[in-house]
Amino acid sequence: MSLTRHDWKRFAIGLCEVGLLLTLLFSVVTVFGQLHRNFDLFSHFRFQYFVASVLLTLVFVILRWRGYIWLGVLAVGVNAYFVVPWFLPVDEALTNNNATATPIRLLHANVLHTNDNANLFLALVRDEQPDLIVLQEATPKWISMLYPIEPSYPYTLIEARGDQFGIALYSKFPLDSTAIIESVPLGFPDLIATAIVGGKRLNIISTHPIPPIGVGRYSARNLQLDSAAKLAARTPNPVIVVGDLNVTMWGHHYGRLEEISGLRNARRGFGIKPTWPLFFLPALIPIDHCLVSDGVQVVDFRTGPQIGSDHLPIIVSLLISK
- The domain locations on the chain are 5-87, 98-320
pLDDT digits (tens, 9 = 90+) for 45-60: 999 999 999 999 999 9
CA 265 to centroid of chain Cα atoms: 9
Contact yes or no for 183/224 (Cβ under 8 A): yes
Between the CA of residue 107 and those of 122, 126, 133, what are the distances in Å?
12, 12, 5
What confidence category does residue 322 fall into, taking pLDDT thresholds of 50, 70 and 90?
low
Q: What is the pLDDT of residue 78?
A: 98
Q: Which residues lie across from 157 on neighbouring strands?
A: 169
The pair phi, psi for residue 79, each rounded to 5°, is: -75, -35
99 vs 274, which has greater pLDDT?
274
pLDDT at residue number 93: 57
Residue 155, Ramachandran bin (φ over 0: left; ψ between -120 and 50: alpha; else beta): beta
Assess whether pLDDT exceeds 80 at residue 27: yes
pLDDT at 267: 98
> Which strand ranges, in their side-by-side order, compose the sheet holding 200-206?
175-182, 189-197, 200-206, 239-244, 288-292, 264-265
Q: What is the pLDDT of residues 85-102, one digit of tens each?
A: 999 998 765 544 566 789
- Beta-bridged to residue 182, according to DSSP, are 189
Give the mean pLDDT of 253-270.
98
pLDDT tens, 107-136?
999 999 999 999 999 999 999 999 999 999
Round to whole Å and give the CA distance between 34 and 205: 26
Quote the CA–CA distance of 143 and 166 in Å, as a whole number: 10
Q: Which of 134, 182, 174 is nearest to 158 (CA)?
A: 134
Q: Quick one: pLDDT band at residue 150, thresholds 50, 70, 90?
A: very high
Mean of pLDDT values over 150-166: 98
Mean pLDDT (whole number) for 160-178: 97
- Specify the pLDDT at position 10: 87
CATH architecture of 98-320: 4-Layer Sandwich (3.60)
Question: pTM for this one?
Answer: 0.95
Element of type H or E holding 103: strand 102-110
Quick check: 9 pLDDT over 90? no
CA distance 74 to 119: 47
Mean pLDDT of 196-218: 96
pLDDT at 92: 66
Rounded mean pLDDT of the chain? 95
Question: Which has the closest alpha carbon to 169: 199, 200, 224, 208?
Answer: 208
CA distance 98 to 77: 38
The DSSP H or E segment spanning 159 is strand 155-159
**Smallest Cα–Cα separation from 41: which of 217, 240, 298, 290?**
217
Tell me the pLDDT band of 6, cut-offs 50, 70 and 90.
Answer: low
